[in-house]
A and B are shown apart, each in its own frame.
Chain A
Amino acid sequence: MKRSLLKEIIIIVSVSVFLGFTMNIISPNKIPLIQDYSSRHQIDSVSSDKQKPVRQYTKEGFVKPVNVKIQDVKKMFDEGAVFIDGRPPEEFATGHIKGAVNIPYKEFKDKTVEQKLEILKAYDKEKPIVSYCGGTECEISIDNAYEMAKAGYNELKIYLGGYKEWNELGYPTEK
């Protein structure tokens, strides 16, 4: 009895593994078997006063958004950088970084490049734009920044601490 259960499990798992890998080879939306996720949350070299950081490019050819530390975020805030909040409007309405603009990632990601440029046309492509969202475990700050960088914006900064950290530090917010 135990053996037949084990046999069934082996068959089921084998069929699933076979289907999974085969379909992943055929599928147009295939994903790599192993992907490096670690760099997503790594704080990149800080934009210190001493030297201007060298721009890095992604393999798609756009400028790679940079993860920045809270100190740099605050500095950019004081210097009047544009802050983009990627959360849905309902969450944005409950509180956000003072002066931030709400560009919900969920809608933004599906827009054409022209539409994206239209939304962002008020901002300078060569000046810092800080992308953030709810908090440290929030991924859309990263994704929203990449969408904007793809559209040709070269100074995307990602603030991973997000509204949560900003608010806890008592920095300027508004509703």
Chain B
Amino acid sequence: MNFLSNKYFLLILRLIVGGTFIYACAGKLLNQELFARAIYNYKFLPDVFINIFAIVMPYLELVTAVFLILGIFKRGSAFMIIVMLIVFIISLTQAYARGLDISCGCFSLETVSEKSDILLRIIEDIFLLVATFIIFIKSKPIIKQEIQQ
């Protein structure tokens, strides 16, 4: 499993995860009202938190993605991305299990349009979760790295 520590491999993983998150946050940043409605459709957050979540979430995605790609606060960014992915996976799974008709919610149409798409998204998120986890454990804290050098 030595290749996991290969810095180019890790760089590619960072680009994939960061790129996906930047792509994902773009639409949400452009239309936060619709994003808030999409969150509401998932019905997993109390109403009072929905808009605050919709306001902060896209920026959290953006900031962690940019940091991850640039290599700033890599571990912190990877950690937060792991947390977000777990939240995504749980909410998608419960929506899928409860048979929520989010396809007809239509606000999330661009991302989730059918039941099969929800499954695809879950798989996608699990893949990203594994990738981010590798980044997290292979990114040594800076102090330790300096000592080694």
Enumerate chain A interface residues (CB-CB to B < 8 A). Answer: 1, 4-5, 7-9, 11-13, 15-17, 19-21, 23-24, 27, 29-38, 87, 91, 105-106, 133-140, 143, 162, 164
Contact = CB atoms under 8 A, between A and B. Distances in A.
Nearest to B52: A33
Given A5-B79, A38-B47, A16 B60 contact: yes
B103 interface: yes
Contacts of B67: 12
Nearest to A4: B141
Interface of B: 29, 31-33, 36-37, 40-41, 43, 47-48, 50-52, 54-60, 62-64, 67, 73, 75-77, 79-80, 100-107, 109, 141-144
A34 B107 contact: no
B47 A20 contact: no
Given A19-B59, A20-B55, A139-B106, A12 B33 contact: no
Contacts of A23: 29, 59
B55 A24 contact: yes
Nearest to A9: B76
Given A134-B103, A137-B100, A31 B79 contact: no
Nearest to B102: A137
Contact of B51 (A12, A34, A91): A34
Contacts of A139: 37, 41, 104-107
Contacts, number: 119
A7 B141 CA distance: 12
Contacts of B75: 4-5, 8
B55 A138 contact: no
B56 A37 contact: no
Contact of B73 (A8, A34, A106, A164): A8
A137 B54 contact: no
Nearest to B54: A31
A29 B40 CA distance: 18
A1 B106 contact: no
Nearest to B95: A137
Contacts of A162: 104
A12 B104 contact: no
A137 B109 contact: no
Given A1-B144, A135-B101, A139-B37, A34 B80 contact: no
Given A87-B104, A138-B104, A139-B104, A9 B59 contact: no
Given A137-B102, A139-B107, A16 B51 contact: no
18 contacts: A1-B141, A8-B73, A12-B67, A16-B63, A20-B56, A20-B59, A31-B33, A31-B36, A31-B54, A33-B55, A34-B48, A35-B47, A37-B50, A38-B47, A106-B106, A135-B104, A139-B104, A140-B105
A5 B141 contact: yes
B146 to A, nearest CB: 12
Given A15-B63, A31-B55, 14 more contacts: A4-B141, A5-B76, A12-B64, A16-B64, A20-B59, A36-B47, A105-B106, A134-B101, A136-B101, A137-B41, A139-B37, A139-B105, A139-B107, A140-B104
